[in-house]
């Protein structure tokens, strides 16, 4: 026995167990209840099933062979028995009845086609309806119905029993997964795609928000850097001014120094000190030509020079002069230290 045979037998056993189990009936009842709430057209689209056409035996008149049909046999064509079996027989009901068919009918299993239908269970027993038809008779009936597409062979005993005596080899192959399954699969795929799109949109929105926050923080950092640069420049300028101021002698010290350096008979009309430390002196003196030598002895000034020529003043009898010199930096430090 090879693996393919074992696999086929396992699938067949699983199929029989499923069809004999209460879970299968519960599933079909729940599904039919839900489908019953839908309009007929929607129900047909979801299940892929059109209303079945019933073909009654014996054939009374010619019928359209196009639609698929279910052949319904009268009770007289079959043997129907209700059996009570152990509950364990439900696991492999078809094979159990096949082995013991001669106990319940006058025929062997190879002479008939049969179908077992579970009616219910109580305690440790199982109530089963057994429907049997001679294989030769079934083949004759099917031969006369050869022009029709049969989906199953049922039996009417007042009402249809809901069995199928059509051999497995003659049953139409069902497409795996009906429209309902395909619809559910497409719905799940659509929901999954929607979730992915929403997740991507949420991530993109979060990324955009984070980028905006980063740009805002970068702008704040830029503004802070500008403030720091401005503060540094201001501090540098302040330090420069403080250093320049500290490097230059105080104006009072300069005036005191000039009062000692300038000879008698000399007075100043103009004294100007610019930011570069250049000093401009203008005034009158009786000894204007000797002022350069006198100012060189002044510790606060360096490099004194006349600006222009010395001109006599007729009103005062003195000479007008204009001098330019530079503040002496070392002198300013000495003055500051004092």
- DSSP codes of every residue in 2-26: -HHHHHHHHHHHHHHHHHHSHHHHH
Query: Looking at the DSSP assignment, which residues form a beta bridge with residue 305?
Result: 324
Length of the chain: 338
Give the pLDDT of residue 181: 65
The CATH number of residue 83's host domain is 3.30.1490.300
**What local confidence, expressed as pLDDT, does residue 211 receive?**
92
Instruction: Tell me how far apart the alpha carbons of residues 150 and 208 are, in angstroms, rounded to a whole number.
Output: 63
Question: CB atoms < 10 A from the CB of 77, how many?
Answer: 17
Mark whether 150 and 59 lie in a shared domain. Answer: yes
Is residue 265 one of the residues assigned to a domain?
A: yes
Residues 162 and 201 in one domain: no
Residue-wise pLDDT tens digits, 45-61: 666 555 567 888 888 76
Please state the domain count of the chain: 3
160 in a domain, yes or no? yes
Spell out the long-range contacts of 305-312 with Cβ–Cβ below 8 A and sequence spacing 24 or more. 307/280
The answer to whether 126 and 90 have CB atoms below 8 angstroms apart is yes
Residue 317: give the domain boundaries.
Answer: 251-337
Same domain, 63 and 155: yes
Answer whether residue 33 is part of any domain.
no
* Same domain (yes/no): 320, 214: no
**Domain contains 280:** yes
In this structure, the answer to whether residues 85 and 112 fall within a common structural domain is yes
> Which two three-digit tokens encode residue 72?
């319904």
For 327, other C-beta atoms within 10 Å of its C-beta total 19
In this predicted model, what pLDDT tens digit does every residue of 207-245 receive, in sequence order?
A: 999 999 999 999 999 999 999 888 888 888 877 777 766
Helix (H, G, I), strand (E, B) or coil at 247: helix
Residue 283 lies in a domain: yes
Rounded CA-CA distance 199/207 in Å is: 12
Report the C-alpha gap between 81 and 122 in whole angstroms. Answer: 18
Cis-peptide into 242, omega within 30 deg: no
Q: To 10 degrees, what angle do helices 179-247 and 40-47 make?
A: 80
Partners of 320 in the beta sheet? 284, 311
Asked if residue 165 and residue 117 are part of one domain, the reply reads yes
Same domain for 150 and 81: yes
**Domain end: 170, 202, 217, which one?**
170
- pLDDT for position 297: 82
Angle between helices 22-36 and 40-47 (to 10 degrees): 140
Point out which residues pair with 21 in neighbouring strands. none
Torsion of Cα atoms, 236 then 242 then 247 then 249, to 10°: 160
Q: Are residues 208 and 164 in the same domain?
A: no
For 261-283, write each residue's pLDDT tens digit: 888 888 888 888 887 778 898 98
Strand order in the sheet with 69-74: 53-56, 69-74, 150-157, 159-160
Positions of the chain with pLDDT under 50: 176-177, 331-338
Residues 262 and 215 in one domain: no
Same domain, 67 and 129: yes
**Could you tell me the CATH number of the domain that includes residue 271?**
3.30.1360.100
Query: What does pTM read for this prediction?
Result: 0.41
Same domain, 260 and 325: yes
Which of 120, 143, 137 minimizes the C-alpha distance to 74?
137
Q: Is residue 314 part of a domain?
A: yes
How far apart CA 281 and CA 321 sit, in angstroms, is: 8
- The answer as to whether 286 is a domain residue is yes
Return d(Cα 280, Cα 274) in angstroms, integer: 9
Judge if 135 and 220 occupy the same domain: no
Q: Examine residue 65 and state whether it is found in any structural domain, yes or no.
A: yes
Domain boundary among 225, 243, 271: 225
Beta bridge partners of 84: 127
């Amino acid at each position: 026995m090879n693996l393919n045979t074992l696999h086929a037998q396992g699938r067949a056993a699983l199929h029989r167990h499923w069809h004999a189990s209460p879970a299968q009936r519960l599933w079909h009842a729940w599904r039919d209840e839900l489908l019953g709430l839908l309009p007929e057209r929607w129900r047909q689209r979801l299940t892929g099933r059109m209303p079945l056409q019933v073909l009654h035996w014996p054939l009374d008149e010619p019928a359209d062979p196009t639609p698929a049909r279910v052949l319904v046999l009268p009770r007289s064509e079959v043997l129907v028995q209700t059996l009570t079996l152990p509950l364990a027989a439900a696991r492999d009901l078809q094979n159990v009845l096949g082995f013991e068919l001669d106990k319940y009918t006058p025929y062997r299993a190879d002479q008939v086609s049969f179908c077992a239908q579970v009616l219910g269970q109580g305690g440790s027993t199982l109530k089963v309806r057994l429907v049997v038809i001679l294989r030769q008779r079934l083949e004759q009936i099917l031969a006369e119905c050869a022009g029709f597409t049969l989906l199953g062979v049922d039996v009417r005993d007042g009402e249809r029993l809901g069995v199928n005596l059509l051999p497995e080899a003659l049953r139409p192959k069902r497409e795996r997964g009906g429209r309902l399954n395909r619809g559910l699969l497409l719905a799940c795929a659509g929901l999954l795609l929607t979730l992915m799109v929403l997740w991507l949109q949420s991530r993109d929105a979060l990324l955009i928000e984070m980028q905006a926050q980063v740009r805002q923080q970068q702008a704040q950092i830029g503004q802070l850097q500008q403030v720091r640069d401005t503060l540094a420049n201001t501090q540098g300028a302040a330090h420069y001014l403080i250093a320049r101021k500290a490097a230059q002698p105080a104006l009072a010290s300069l005036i005191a120094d000039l009062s000692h350096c300038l000879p008698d008979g000399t007075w100043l009309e103009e004294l100007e000190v610019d930011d570069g430390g250049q000093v401009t002196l203008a005034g009158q003196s009786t000894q204007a030509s000797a002022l350069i030598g006198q100012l060189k002895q002044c510790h606060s000034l360096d490099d004194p020079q006349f600006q222009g020529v010395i001109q006599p003043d007729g009103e005062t009898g003195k000479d007008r002069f204009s001098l330019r010199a530079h503040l002496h930096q070392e002198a300013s430090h000495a003055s500051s230290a004092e």
